[in-house]
Amino acid sequence: MYGSTFWKRHFLDELQEAHDAFPDEKYVGFAEFTMPIILIRDPDLIKTITVKDFEYFTDHREFFSEESDPLFAGSLVLMKGERWREMRSILSPAFTASKMKLMLPLIVENANNIVEYLHAHQNENIGVDDLMRRYTNDVIASAGFGLKINSLEDRDNEFFRIGSLLFDFTWKQRMTMILNTLFPQQSKKLGIHIWDEKTNAFFRNIVASTMEYRKKEHVERPDMLQLLMEAKGDWTPDDLTAQVFIFFAAGFDTSASSLTMVIHEIAINPDVQDKLYQECRQLKEDKEPLTFDKLSELKYLDCVINETLRKWTPAIFMDRTCQKTYELPPPHEGGKPYTLKPGDVVYNMVNCIQMDPRYFPDPHKFDPERFSEENKHKIKPCTYSPFGGGPRICIGMRFAMMELKVLVYLIMLNFTIVKTEKTIDPIKLKPHNFNIRAVGGTWVKFQKRE
């Protein structure tokens, strides 16, 4: 991990190297600093681990301890065992189709802010990374916290600033993460935190004050905070804050980077853009307002987003921690089985498998037709997992897809996306982040449609 530790290359490149070096193995060993990791590269074995034998692999790896980062560690993502099951069942109703229908107007309002901004900046080189982060920031502030923010007008608002701090890793944060990984006990004793107390205090204060206001004024909104307020269970204020925090942390950067790559691929694939525009225009012609059900009619848009998530998914891998002794089958014919012990960690590969030509021929080609009604049945199970898989699949998947589709739909109706002299193709990933971003940024122009 020398390359990614010292920001020479992306962590994904190191995983890809290990994945590619052993094409006939079901799994291979990988050293993440001092921790041995098993990289699972066989889709059938991934299915067994994440679905059939889930009871052996119920938990994620503990990337953050409660001492180092109470909000991350106390969130649904890192909750374990029965606590995770309870919280998952409490949060699941927030992401049903009926709740999505209520949240859609909030998303459309924020997407219209982006369209309005682009009308005022036609034919300019636009840094897509920053623009998409402002959109996802405002969507989550609205749908998660019930706050109305316009980050295009109030460019240095605290919500956006905190979100950027979470993911624009400094050397200090990077080294703190490494220390937490290598020396968890010592880090706990020394009270080493990845994010400062100001960040935690910001979320605690905003959740506490909003809940207090709603109770006092009898205000109800169709958002995640409302659901948590109504949740039954023995939950502390920190427990509740942690769930809203992870909704923000998980959605802010992953959705933004996915949208950025969608815009990039549309810009460099004009034939895809033409077909997508025709579909969006056809839906618009009935003059009815955009609804959740109408979004599902945009089949080609689905294909475009799915193909983007195949090439550029923010997931990278699905980590699982072994809960009880488990025997992996031999990694190859004639080999010996391997026994996992409680506490051992496996990474079920996502990006590497999605870019494997055995499962997706000519993987570097952007081809939305892979996900068409005629072709999607050809995709082997567990070779496409941008939102994870099994009972731990991303709870916000439906929300994220709605957020992406609304904005792309409105942009397509209003603009032609054009590559410029600053558009990089092919993209090289920025090395000093776990997230998916291009070196030099992602740049396009938006030309108003006649």
Model pLDDT, residue 168: 67
The single-letter DSSP state of residue 269 is: -
- Which residue numbers belong to the known binding site for heme? 394
pLDDT single digits (tens) 16-43: 999 999 999 999 999 988 889 999 999 9
CB 122 within 8 A of CB 425: no
- 141/139 Cα distance (integer angstroms): 6
Whether the CA torsion 358, 364, 365, 371 is positive or negative: it is positive
Burial zone of 81 (CB within 10 Å; 0-12 exposed, 13-18 middle, 19+ buried): exposed
Q: Distance of alpha carbon 227 from its chain centroid, rounded?
A: 22
User: Quick one: DSSP state of residue 197?
Assistant: H
pLDDT by residue (tens digit) across 47-82? 999 999 999 999 998 776 666 677 777 888 888 999
The pLDDT tens digits for 279-335 are 999 999 876 789 999 999 999 999 999 999 999 999 899 999 999 999 999 999 999
pLDDT value, residue 434: 73
Give me the percent of the chain exceeding a pLDDT of 90: 61
pTM of the model: 0.93
Q: Which pLDDT does position 173 carry in this prediction?
A: 67
Residue 419's pLDDT band (cuts 50, 70, 90): very high
Residue 171 has pLDDT above 70, yes or no: no
Q: How many domains does the chain have?
A: 1
Average pLDDT taken over every residue of the chain: 90
Read off the pLDDT band of 229 (50, 70, 90). confident
Average pLDDT over residues 125-133: 96
Q: Which amino acid is at 212?
A: E
Residue type at position 256: A
- What six digits make up the tokens of 358? 């055995």
Q: Which residue has the higher pLDDT, 235 or 300?
A: 300
| Domain boundaries, position 359 | 2-448
pLDDT at 136 over 90: yes
**Residue 415 CB partners (closer than 8 Å, separation 6+):** 118, 122, 446, 447, 448, 449
Which residues are 447's β-sheet partners? Answer: 416
pLDDT at 133 over 80: yes
Residue 418's CATH number: 1.10.630.10
- Residue 173 exposed, middle or buried by CB count within 10 Å (0-12, 13-18, 19+): middle
pLDDT tens readout for residues 336-395: 999 999 999 999 999 999 999 999 999 999 999 999 999 999 999 999 999 999 999 999
Burial readout 364-384 (b: 16 or more C-beta within 10 A, e: otherwise): eebbbebbeeeeeeebeebbb
Q: Check if the beta carbon of residue 318 is closer than 8 Å to that of residue 294.
A: no
Which is nearest to 319 in space by CA: 300, 339, 345, 294? 345
**What is the predicted pLDDT for the residue at 29?**
96
Binding residues: 394
Tell me the β-bridge partners of 429: 438
List all residues 6 or more positions away from 8 whose beta carbon is below 8 Å from its beta carbon.
Answer: 2, 431
- Convert 198-220 to b/e letters by CB count within 10 Å (16 or more is b): ebbebbbebbeebbeebeeeeee
Residue 170 has pLDDT above 70, yes or no: no
Question: Which residues have C-beta within 8 Å of that of residue 29, sequence separation ≥ 6?
Answer: 36, 37, 38, 39
